[in-house]
Amino acid sequence: MLAVQFDRFGPPDVLEIGVAPDPHPGRGQVRIRVKAAGVSPVDLALRAGESPGSKNLVLPHIPGVDAAGVVDEVGPGVVDVSAGDEVFGTVALAGLGGATAEYAILDFWGRKPERMPWHEAGGAGSGVETATRALDLLDVRDGMTLLVHGAAGGVGSVVVQLAAARGARVLGAARVESHPFLESLGVRPVSLEDVSQSVDRALDVAGAGVLDDLIKITGSVDDVVTLADFEGPSKGVRLSMGRPAGQVDGRHGLVDVAALVERGLFRVPVREVFPPHNAAAAHALAARSPRQGKVIIEGIRPSLGANPESG
């Protein structure tokens, strides 16, 4: 198969389209023909060689942890989908990537709602899983007020919508230029120094050294969770990272989101869409601020190589 990949660590221009072995699903996995794949912060760090996981990569490596497409092969034990079904989700965890290719193996998936565009579906998987895990850890419920720091990015923009769907009042802290974007999601934009109302829970998505502020605002380390600040545990703040051990638990956020999409209560904000031969530009944009939504790389069309998958 053809795939966007890199054979050395470095800036975005190390990405190129090359030939890779066709993957096949193991137990509890499915293979999809990829229609769209999201670009996540982990993809950028792995490519640059700046992630602890970079040393575990076998080069050439295919980046991408989020993908959507059409099932064309199912592994043993899979009973909920079959060939021809449209799904979205996250790739096999052990490989730390694999989405920007003709075919990808999914560990976690949900059925793609008919009204959900492929570009949105391709960028949903890890953001939905991460947001669901964090909101569960904070026990965000109806009537609570949640403050999200880093609310405009790919994960933050998912968190704020899922929190609102649970009945929470959501305050979004982000750069001033991102405030109109947050308002478009139904979120009240704020700056940390101006938060005056009572806040029940706080989630740090950006990892920008604001944990002391969030602890002060909520009044307790128990009411704060961070996704990106590795100093959190030293302050008594829980650091949420990694996926649930159980596959059913790992999927429940995707299933919930599919239902919200059908009701018109959720969307994946897409910043820009790139064809696979412009994957380097996609990675470069994903690293630049302001981060508002997901950057997407379209699927590779086999007959034309670098051209995007239609539809």
Confidence of residue 93 (pLDDT cuts 50, 70, 90): low
- For residue 247, pLDDT over 50 is answered with no
- Rounded to whole angstroms, how far apart are CA atoms 97 and 59? 12
State mean pLDDT over 286-304. 85
By C-alpha distance, which of 73, 44, 74 is closest to 61? Answer: 44
What pLDDT does residue 195 have? 87
Confidence of residue 284 (pLDDT cuts 50, 70, 90): very high
User: Are 42 and 28 within 8 A, CB to CB?
Assistant: no
The domain spans of the chain are 2-124+268-298, 127-239
- For residue 95, pLDDT over 60 is answered with yes
User: Are 67 and 34 within 8 A, CB to CB?
Assistant: yes
What pLDDT does residue 154 have? 87
- For residue 308, pLDDT over 50 is answered with no
What pLDDT does residue 193 have? 84
- For residue 309, pLDDT over 70 is answered with no
CATH architecture of 2-124+268-298: Alpha-Beta Complex (3.90)
| pTM reported for the whole predicted model | 0.88
What pLDDT does residue 252 have? 73
DSSP state of 84: T
Confidence of residue 197 (pLDDT cuts 50, 70, 90): confident
State mean pLDDT over 208-212. 92
Confidence of residue 207 (pLDDT cuts 50, 70, 90): confident
- Rounded to whole angstroms, how far apart are CA atoms 227 and 217? 18
User: Are 141 and 164 within 8 A, CB to CB?
Assistant: no
- For residue 225, pLDDT over 50 is answered with yes
What pLDDT does residue 241 have? 77
Per-residue pLDDT of 31-55, as tens digits, reads: 999 999 999 988 999 999 998 889 9
What pLDDT does residue 292 have? 86
What pLDDT does residue 194 have? 83
Per-residue pLDDT of 253-270, as tens digits, reads: 898 999 999 999 999 999
- For residue 287, pLDDT over 50 is answered with yes
- For residue 80, pLDDT over 80 is answered with yes
What pLDDT does residue 208 have? 83
State mean pLDDT over 212-227. 96
Tell me which fold the domain 127-239 belongs to: Rossmann fold (3.40.50)
Per-residue pLDDT of 126-156, as tens digits, reads: 999 999 999 999 999 999 999 999 999 889 9
The set of residues, in sequence order, having a beta carbon less than 8 Å from that of 100 and lying 6+ positions away, is 3, 4, 5, 34, 37, 62, 63, 64, 276, 279, 297, 300
